[in-house]
A and B are shown apart, each in its own frame.
Chain A
Amino acid sequence: MNIKNYDYFWVIFIIALSALIIFGQPSLIINGLLLGFIYSLGAIGLTLVFGILRFGNFAQGDLMTLGGYISLTIVTVIFAGIGFTGSALGPFTFGLPIVLAIPLTMLLTSIIVVILDQLIYKRLRTRQASTMLISIASLGVAIMIRGLVQFLWGNEPEYFPRESKQFYMLPLDIRIPPDNVILGLMAVLMTLGVYLFLKYNKYGKFMRATANNPNLSLSTGINTSIVIMWTWIISGSLAAAGGTMLAVSQAQILPMTGWKILLPIFASVILGGIGKPIGALVGAIIIGISMEASTAWLNPTYKPAVAFTIMIAMLLVKPNGLFGEKD
């Protein structure tokens, strides 16, 4: 990693952050940080799939939506059906059912994405379809998932059971919803878990090797089918957790929730360097903070444009991203 290559980027970013704090909008940074952590869950999955399978998975946003709805169903139908409702935990707006629904949703979504891979992507790989074609297929999967969500849960917003709670009030007039603290912490722990998996687990090492050089992995004896399955399991489970956290933090979920954050997720991946999980995390944090911080000056409807602008700027200045290697 050559720091000199992106010194200017960090300088501009830190000046912008300092300006926000000086001019009295530190809450935006804190809330943007949470948004960044949630985006990072989608972005790490996206970048892992790109690193191993070499295609941009346009279904990642809708997988997050699906994860959110599966959590909602577990909480409001299954848990409520057996009388497990639970009141809100401490300062948070949600109770134990949502906390327990997250791992279940991660498991279910992992199974769904592995099945999708076997039914669609694996067949395309076997036929040696181009990565462009597989990306287009993922767009089809995205629309299919959204259609399924609309069919099963309708087009109206759905709400997780919640109770009103006071914000944390910190110095400098910083107001933070307590949910954001715990959700951010959960996202960080999951990201850390992925990092440790990639660094120390046998299959994590195989994933890094395959991302670096698929042919050498094969000729070294690595079973790339298992590597691909692990990639989908991690990507799907992170998308499920991210989608649920996003729905809980926004207090509602819509069929378009995931689709709307697909652009910031892609922007995060490109900013950090395609195929780089740490880059996706850093990229997501920068995108999250920038999008939230922009509302100090811009109408919130322009937030996606901010992400888009950062993505285009990075592509023009350093196409390989902050953590990307030179070709």
Chain B
Amino acid sequence: MALLDVQNINAGYGETEILHSVSIQVNEGNLVAIIGPNGSGKSTLLKVIVGLLEAKKGNIEFMADSITNSSPQKIVELGISYVPQAENVFTNMTIKENLEIPSLVLKFNFKKRLEEILELFPILDTKMNTKAGTLSGGQRQTLAFAKALISKPSLMILDEPSAGLSPIMADSTFETIESINKSGVTILIVEQNAKKILSIADRGYVLATGENKIDDTGLNLLTNPDVGMLYLGGSN
């Protein structure tokens, strides 16, 4: 049974419908990628899953319970952490305060988890009292991952984590995502850099114009000429 089961979701903004009967499944322990051209509804789908946007039709199940149109608070309490594409840290707060917020929401032992999370992201340790707004793009992304992981989520949802990063930082970000997944955290990720993400993903979904087009294992999608022609600019 899938950890996350999104079934035939229709959603959009106001009268404009962006998603048309989109379905995806995420199995426990997997890294599942959603790729597709701009405007295909990838980020919209993530917003519907985490409760930031209402689904007009369809059903979303997490651990076999329906979470369709649940509040973001409820989604977080169930163990889903979401890292938005941009503005994913509180820039007016210090690194320590950013990491503390999830512990105040979910009431877990902050000191204990902080030590554990700093072992994973030691770069943050020396800057705990630095305002997040002064960090570089890569450091912000690291903080956003740490903030999402500190609550020990069952599912981590990432929206284009490599966007705006230098190639070196983007490579480092993909390495981090892979190591987080290998540590046992299930990941659902939307990513523009399709080649990179499909090379490490267990499964991938290709969306276009708000519809499911192709889904397969990451490696199969990488070598699928249809994906190459339509979404990767004609090359594999």
Interface residues of A, Cβ cutoff 8 Å to B = 202, 205-206, 208-209, 211-213, 215-216, 218-223, 325
Cβ of B213 to closest chain A Cβ, rounded Å: 27
Q: Are B84 and A215 in contact (CB under 8 A)?
A: yes
Q: Are B88 and A216 in contact (CB under 8 A)?
A: yes
Q: Are A212 and B92 in contact (CB under 8 A)?
A: yes
B102 contact from A208, A212, A221, A325, Cβ within 8 A: A221
**Inter-chain contacts of B174 with A (CB < 8 A):** none
B100 within 8 Å of A (CB atoms)? yes
Which residue of chain A lies nearest to B50 when distances are taken between CB atoms in the complex?
A219
In the complex, besides A216-B87, A325-B92, 20 extra interface pairs with C-beta distance below 8 angstroms are A205-B97, A205-B100, A206-B104, A208-B92, A209-B90, A209-B93, A209-B101, A213-B90, A213-B91, A215-B52, A218-B51, A219-B50, A219-B72, A220-B105, A221-B72, A221-B75, A221-B76, A221-B105, A222-B73, A222-B101
Q: Are B50 and A220 in contact (CB under 8 A)?
A: no
**Inter-chain contacts of B77 with A (CB < 8 A):** 221
Q: Are B106 and A221 in contact (CB under 8 A)?
A: yes
Which residue of chain A lies nearest to B151 when distances are taken between CB atoms in the complex?
A221
**Inter-chain contacts of A218 with B (CB < 8 A):** 51-52, 72-73
Which residue of chain B lies nearest to A203 when distances are taken between CB atoms in the complex?
B104
Question: A199–B97 Cα gap in the complex (Å)?
Answer: 10
Which residue of chain A lies nearest to B87 when distances are taken between CB atoms in the complex?
A213
A220 contact from B87, B101, B133, Cβ within 8 A: B101
B82 within 8 Å of A (CB atoms)? yes
Question: A223–B107 Cα gap in the complex (Å)?
Answer: 14
Q: Are B90 and A216 in contact (CB under 8 A)?
A: yes
Cβ of B24 to closest chain A Cβ, rounded Å: 19
Question: A187–B92 Cα gap in the complex (Å)?
Answer: 26
Q: How many A-B residue pairs have CB under 8 A?
A: 60
Question: A212–B50 Cα gap in the complex (Å)?
Answer: 20
**Inter-chain contacts of A213 with B (CB < 8 A):** 87, 90-91
Interface range, B side:
20 to 34
A325 contact from B50, B93, B133, Cβ within 8 A: B133
Question: A223–B104 Cα gap in the complex (Å)?
Answer: 11
A-B contact pairs, 16 of them (CB 8 A): A206-B101, A209-B90, A211-B92, A212-B91, A213-B87, A213-B90, A215-B84, A215-B87, A218-B72, A219-B50, A219-B76, A219-B82, A220-B76, A221-B105, A325-B92, A325-B133
Q: Are B90 and A202 in contact (CB under 8 A)?
A: no
**Inter-chain contacts of B100 with A (CB < 8 A):** 205
Question: A208–B92 Cα gap in the complex (Å)?
Answer: 8
With A222-B105, A325-B133 as contacts: A216 and B84 at CB distance below 8 Å: yes
Which residue of chain A lies nearest to B88 when distances are taken between CB atoms in the complex?
A216
Q: Are A219 and B84 in contact (CB under 8 A)?
A: yes
**Inter-chain contacts of B52 with A (CB < 8 A):** 215, 218-219
Q: Are B90 and A208 in contact (CB under 8 A)?
A: yes
Query: B105-135 vs A: 1/0 string, CB under 8 Å?
Result: 1100000000000000000000000000100
Q: Are B93 and A220 in contact (CB under 8 A)?
A: no
Q: Are B88 and A221 in contact (CB under 8 A)?
A: no
Q: Are A220 and B91 in contact (CB under 8 A)?
A: no
With A213-B90, A216-B87 as contacts: A205 and B101 at CB distance below 8 Å: yes
A212 contact from B90, B105, B147, Cβ within 8 A: B90
Question: A163–B72 Cα gap in the complex (Å)?
Answer: 57
Question: A211–B90 Cα gap in the complex (Å)?
Answer: 9
Cβ of A321 to closest chain B Cβ, rounded Å: 14
Cβ of A314 to closest chain B Cβ, rounded Å: 21
**Inter-chain contacts of A220 with B (CB < 8 A):** 76, 101-102, 105, 147
Q: Which 9 A-B pairs have the closest CB atoms?
A: A221-B76, A221-B105, A212-B92, A218-B72, A219-B82, A212-B90, A202-B104, A209-B90, A221-B73
**Inter-chain contacts of B84 with A (CB < 8 A):** 215-216, 219
